[in-house]
Structure 1
Amino acid sequence: MRVNLLGPLQAYAGDHGAELAPAAQKVRQTLVMLVLNAGRVVSLARLMDELWNGEPPASAHTAVQTYVYQLRKRFSLGNPRIGGAAPAEEVLLATVDDGYQLSLPADRVDVFRFEPLLDRAGAQFRDEDFARARETAAAALRLWRDEVLVDVRKGPALEAEAARLKGLRTSAHHLRVESDLHLGRHHEVLGELASMAGRDPTDERAQGNLMVALYRADRRAEALQAYRRARERIATELGLDPSPRLQALHAAVLTSDEALLRPGRRISAVPAVTRAPSHLPAPRERLTGRDGQLARLTAALTGRDRADRPVVVVEGAPGTGKSELCLHVAHQVSDSYPDGQLYARLRGDAGRRVRSAGILRSFLRGLGATPEQLRLGATDLSLLFRTWTADRRVLVVLDDVSEGSDLTPLLPSGAGCGVVVGSRRRLFVSSSAVHLELSGLSFPDCLRLLDSAVAGHRIAADQEGLRRLARLCRGLPGALFAVASQLHRRPHWTARQASAWVLAAAGAPDDPLGVRAGFDRTLATLPADSRPLAYELLAPGVPDRFTPTSVAATLGISDQKAEDLLEELGERYLVRARHPAADSRFSYELEPGVRPLAPGPVRRSA
């Protein structure tokens, strides 16, 4: 079986077989979803979401089974037993775990041939082997016959994938043209560059390349006109000034900088540094019970399915170990980001928001920015950061993010970069981001962590006592390590003393379990007028389950204010909504672990 997606859909039964792409659109969508996820299980739910945009009819399950049957029959695809392994070169369509898995070698799909070529061209370009980079990028572009999936109806998943591949095609085009410029072929690419710049007037990379080509063709006035047109369109459509890199190029044209006439010379707004920055803190503890999540996130950042500038988001309740997981992931993938690993927390210990300008100065200082550049304002600092990361491979780790808008100025621009986000609130970053909701550890993992941490303590022989301690910690890794630390300091304690200490520590003002601070930082992300209400609702004595009406009565506020408060707490993983009652209103309950570790009530001013 051979499938081409970079243009009109083409599907062949074999290398030299007849073209057999199905005519029915939903069968075509199903085929493309399976091909793009070759080697992985595509769940039935995901297929239905793609085919019916999240609103599948009652017959959707049967319909998908019919589409899969038609594909098996059309392309003579076998269906091995569940869990069976397919030979490397055999094409099979298996039913696995309430989903389907197509076994199809990568060299049979044009998309999977295109991306390695683009990666190789980028590596050759960075090594300044511009002739090979040009030929490799050109070979990648020759695989494209038209717009990707131009004749296939697209649901949410295929729309996102089409947008990603379109961006990669543009990157390949830029790479090929820039290789030509480095080889002194500016006359040959002038027309092509003028067309690219005209199609997208806000694409600063195309505008900059056009300016360089015009200047080298002894058309300096036209190069300056190209800059003025780009500046006006960027201001009109985006409300921004041109990036520092484009401004630096404009200044070089104005002053007739001789460096512009020398192919191979790069103009960069930030000087190169001799050593890539590595700002990642060391993880404090080993991971327990997170192997699956760790594998999923590292694959997203480094694997074959690595997206254009992959973004992974780890969300969850306070104390579930989000920051530790982010750090373990970042350290594990650091070799894939050789140009630097940057780290910042967007909220301080007291829960106050850290300004983006301060974070950007820290990033750029590590990247080698000059003192003059570090005195720029927040907008220019963000543009400078994007310029530096445009053609580099940098990993950016942003922890304690509570607003999606806080991310915008801190995101690197290059396709080779990666982003890890830790958040105590549900965030929508992008449709292509990998979102992971982190809950507390399972009880067996809690027991395993505690058992290994106190292996030399007398309590290790008291398995029932350890089980009681694990239950008291409610799946929170931080609390479990705090208990282990206390037991190391007090080797004579029994499980009785340790359990009593946990119960007392949960309400102690100095937070010996080390989890109160996380709840305080989570509540600090609430609007100011909601925080006292939240503290009062989470205090002991208030039922664990409630409705907006009962909360309104308890707190003396309107039903609408109570409902808004509960939704805000739900966004922060402190309460969960239950199915609506007959009046279509939700009821709510505390997330496990919130009540015993929640702070005490705060008195509201009258």
Structure 2
Amino acid sequence: MRINLLGPLQAYGDDHRVDLAPAAQKVRQTLALLVLNAGRVVRFEQLMDELWDADPPTSAHTALQTYVYQLRKRFSLGNPRSGGAVRAAGPLLGTVDGGYQLTLPADHVDVFRCEPLLARARAEFRDEDFARARETAAAALQLWRDDALVDVRKGPALQAEAVRLKELRISAHHLRIEADLHLGRHHEVLGELTSMAGREPTNEWAQRNLMTALYRMDRRVEALQVYQRARERIATELGLDPSPELRALHTAMLMSDEELLRPAGRLTAVTAATRAPCHLPAPRERLTGRADQLARITAVLADRARADRPLVIVGGAPGTGKSELCLHAAHQVSAHYPDGRLYARLRDGAGRRVRPAEILRSFLRGLGATEEQLRLGTTDLSLLFRSWTADLRVLVVLDDVCDVRDLTPLLPSGGGCGVVIGSRRRLFVSSSAVHVELAGLPFDDCLHLLASSVPSHRTTMDPEGLRRLAGLCRGLPGALFAVASQLRRRPHWTARQATAWVLASGGADSDPLGVRAGFDRTLATLPAESRSLAYALLSPGVPDRLTPALAAAALGISDQQAEDLLEELSESYLLRAQHPCVNGRFSYEWEPGIRPFAARQSNTPVMCSA
């Protein structure tokens, strides 16, 4: 089985002369999404969102099974059922827990052949082996027959992938032209650059390289005319001046700088060949009820009049939507950070700490570091990152932050850079940092979020049932979206059935609303003794309102130890201190959703930090 996605969809079985690509669009969509995620489980809800967006029919699950059956039959794909991931040497389409998994050798998909070629071309370019870089990039481009997935209907997932692949193609094309210019092939690329500059008059990369090619061919006047046309179009269409790089090139040509006749040095070459990195994931959901917080964050990050580096810390209890807010804000201000948008989570899915060196290597690789530079230790990697960002405008988004010490090596040094931090604890980073703390959503926003997420679901016909359902989610966007996702998968449910499902989630070892997982990830950052004591405080016999004396009696520890524990849980957004204090000591209450959804009903082990 071989699949080509870089152009019209092609699918071949044992006979490579016969194209077996299905004609039905939803079957084509299903095949494309499974192929692009080969080796990974594609969950049922992902497939349904792709095929029907937010409005699946009642028969969606049956229809999806039919599409998968057609693919198995058409390509003779086996179906080894198991409770975990499918592992086999040949192509298989397995039903696994919660979804489907296609196993297919990487070299049987043109996308997966293209990406390593382009990565190799970039490495060869960084090593100044321009001849090999040119040939490797050209080999990657030969795999393209047209725009990726050009004849496949696209839902949200495939549309995002098509955009990514388009950027990949542009990157390969740019790199090949850059290599040609370094090899002195100005005549060969002049036609391409002239056409590209004409189609995209505000594309400074095309204008800059066309100017360079003309200048090296002793056509200085024409090169200067290209600059004048570009400057006028940029001013007219964008209301901006040309970038400092384009202006500097124009000045160098006016001064007949002989350096322009020679290929650029290593740093210039890497910068030219590497597109500004954008590591930001796409937000998973739309924002509701966070307009004021979003406006405050974007105003800080977009304020170029600030003398210092803008730094925003977003905190809140598990499930309040910290990560989504950070991503929405970062995407909105991305135009203010043209040199790159970097993203990292400082804790993995099990709550374990991710080493700073691993994150720094990801950042520096995106900015064009060589493999030799990436072998440096943490201290040197941090110094290199600070040096490179001193004169850049880069946005750094750091999520799942729990300790200020983890931040220090990861912060950019330039005043033009910006930082957004999603924090599981209250942090003090600097006196100029802007703090945004999230509470639960107001009830009206909860109701709107839930109703608008499933506008045609039968639960919307029961206003009282819908209000009770929204109330059970305790103002937590994460819980509301989990309920909406379940309703999309169960279009036949009534509000009563959905309510019973939410109530049952508070007493099961499963975690359908995701609140317990967030609670566990936060607790995983605390010492083991604090974790076990925190779970003991969630026991049915312990009151909802806690004081140091009550906690000490329930846990068998001293009042001071109990107060220290309660303060630590308050710092972690798990408890909320209540005012006024009595006898110099505060009382505390669990944050919304913690008590009903995070308490363990079994002896399931708690994750350990690392």
TM-score for both structures, normalised by structure 2: 0.56
- Contact persistence 1:330–1:420 (CA under 8 A): no
The amino acid of 2:138's aligned partner reads A
3-state DSSP class of the match of 2:65?
Answer: helix
3-state DSSP class of the match of 2:175?
Answer: helix
Comparing 241-250 with 39-48, greater Cα deviation is found at 241-250
Residues 255 and 8 of structure 1, relative CA distance in 2, 3 Å threshold: same
1:78-93 matched pairs, under 5 angstroms: 78-83=78-83, 88-93=88-93
Matched, 1:141 2:162: no
- Contact persistence 1:177–1:189 (CA under 8 A): yes
Deviations 1:66-112 (A, max 9, x none): 00011111111111122477665411100011211001000000000
Q: Partners of 1:323 and 1:74 in 2: how far apart?
A: 37
Q: Partners of 1:69 and 1:85 in 2: how far apart?
A: 19
Residues 27 and 411 of structure 1, relative CA distance in 2, 3 Å threshold: farther
Deviations 1:187-215 (A, max 9, x none): 11011011122222332222211111111
- Contact persistence 1:79–1:94 (CA under 8 A): yes
Comparing 59-68 with 215-224, greater Cα deviation is found at 215-224
- Number of the residue aligned with 2:110: 110
1:173-572 matched pairs, under 5 angstroms: 173-265=173-265, 268=268, 312=343, 328=354, 330-338=356-364, 366-367=387-388, 382=393, 396=396, 398=398, 422=422, 450-451=527-528, 467-472=532-537, 498=557, 500-501=559-560, 503-505=562-564, 513=568, 515-516=570-571
Q: Partners of 2:270 and 2:31 in 1: how far apart?
A: 46
The amino acid of 1:247's aligned partner reads R
- Contact persistence 1:11–1:21 (CA under 8 A): yes
Residues 97 and 400 of structure 1, relative CA distance in 2, 3 Å threshold: closer
Deviations 1:534-567 (A, max 9, x none): 999xx999998xxxxxxxxxxxxxxxxxxxxxxx
The amino acid of 1:218's aligned partner reads D
- Number of the residue aligned with 2:28: 28
The amino acid of 1:332's aligned partner reads E
- Number of the residue aligned with 1:289: none
- Number of the residue aligned with 2:16: 16
Q: Partners of 1:422 and 1:445 in 2: how far apart?
A: 12
Residues 269 and 216 of structure 1, relative CA distance in 2, 3 Å threshold: closer
Q: Partners of 2:148 and 2:524 in 1: how far apart?
A: 50
- Contact persistence 2:352–2:524 (CA under 8 A): no
Q: Partners of 1:271 and 1:75 in 2: how far apart?
A: 44
Higher relative contact order (CA 8 A, sep 6+): 2
Q: CA deviation at 1:185?
A: 0.5
Deviations 1:111-166 (A, max 9, x none): 00000000000000000000000000000000000111110000000000000000
- Contact persistence 1:469–1:499 (CA under 8 A): no
Residues 240 and 501 of structure 1, relative CA distance in 2, 3 Å threshold: farther
Deviations 1:482-513 (A, max 9, x none): x9xxxxxxxxx999563633543477xxx5x3
Q: Partners of 1:175 and 1:341 in 2: how far apart?
A: 15
Matched, 1:40 2:19: no
Deviations 1:322-374 (A, max 9, x none): 999696254334445556999xxxxxxxxxxxxxxxxxxx99862285xxx6x
Q: Partners of 1:226 and 1:411 in 2: how far apart?
A: 35
- Number of the residue aligned with 1:128: 128
- Number of the residue aligned with 2:100: 100
Q: CA deviation at 1:8?
A: 0.4
Comparing 226-235 with 194-203, greater Cα deviation is found at 226-235
Q: Partners of 1:440 and 1:40 in 2: how far apart?
A: 22
The amino acid of 1:180's aligned partner reads D
Residues 244 and 440 of structure 1, relative CA distance in 2, 3 Å threshold: same
Deviations 1:426-482 (A, max 9, x none): 999xxxxxxx9886666799699755x69xxxxxxxxxxx844543499xxxxxxxx
Provide the aligned C-alpha RMSD in A: 4.9
Q: Partners of 1:180 and 1:468 in 2: how far apart?
A: 65
- Contact persistence 2:10–2:20 (CA under 8 A): yes
- Number of the residue aligned with 2:299: none
Q: Give me the identity figure in percent.
A: 57
Q: Partners of 2:420 and 2:136 in 1: how far apart?
A: 30
Q: CA deviation at 1:263?
A: 2.8
- Contact persistence 1:38–1:101 (CA under 8 A): yes
Residues 329 and 246 of structure 1, relative CA distance in 2, 3 Å threshold: farther
- Contact persistence 1:322–1:438 (CA under 8 A): no
Residues 204 and 327 of structure 1, relative CA distance in 2, 3 Å threshold: farther
- Contact persistence 2:126–2:266 (CA under 8 A): no
Comparing 78-87 with 22-31, greater Cα deviation is found at 78-87
Residues 341 and 506 of structure 1, relative CA distance in 2, 3 Å threshold: farther
Q: CA deviation at 1:245?
A: 2.1
3-state DSSP class of the match of 2:18?
Answer: coil
3-state DSSP class of the match of 1:328?
Answer: coil
Residues 590 and 150 of structure 1, relative CA distance in 2, 3 Å threshold: same
Q: Partners of 1:266 and 1:130 in 2: how far apart?
A: 11
- Contact persistence 2:344–2:399 (CA under 8 A): no
Deviations 1:23-55 (A, max 9, x none): 010000000000000011101110010011221
3-state DSSP class of the match of 1:214?
Answer: helix
- Contact persistence 1:130–1:183 (CA under 8 A): yes
Residues 152 and 123 of structure 1, relative CA distance in 2, 3 Å threshold: same
3-state DSSP class of the match of 2:94?
Answer: strand
3-state DSSP class of the match of 1:58?
Answer: coil
3-state DSSP class of the match of 1:498?
Answer: coil
Q: Partners of 2:597 and 2:579 in 1: how far apart?
A: 15
Residues 92 and 506 of structure 1, relative CA distance in 2, 3 Å threshold: closer
Q: Partners of 1:63 and 1:589 in 2: how far apart?
A: 39
Comparing 218-227 with 53-62, greater Cα deviation is found at 218-227
3-state DSSP class of the match of 1:14?
Answer: coil
- Count of residues in Structure 1 that have an aligned counterpart in Structure 2: 406
The amino acid of 2:104's aligned partner reads L
Q: CA deviation at 1:255?
A: 1.4
Q: Partners of 1:447 and 1:367 in 2: how far apart?
A: 34
Residues 590 and 251 of structure 1, relative CA distance in 2, 3 Å threshold: farther
- Contact persistence 2:343–2:398 (CA under 8 A): no
Unmatched runs of 5 consecutive residues or more in structure 1: 273-292, 294-308, 316-320, 343-361, 374-380, 387-395, 402-409, 413-418, 429-435, 455-465, 475-482, 484-492, 524-533, 545-573, 577-587, 594-606
Unmatched runs of 5 consecutive residues or more in structure 2: 273-322, 324-339, 369-382, 402-410, 414-418, 424-436, 439-475, 479-512, 540-547, 600-610
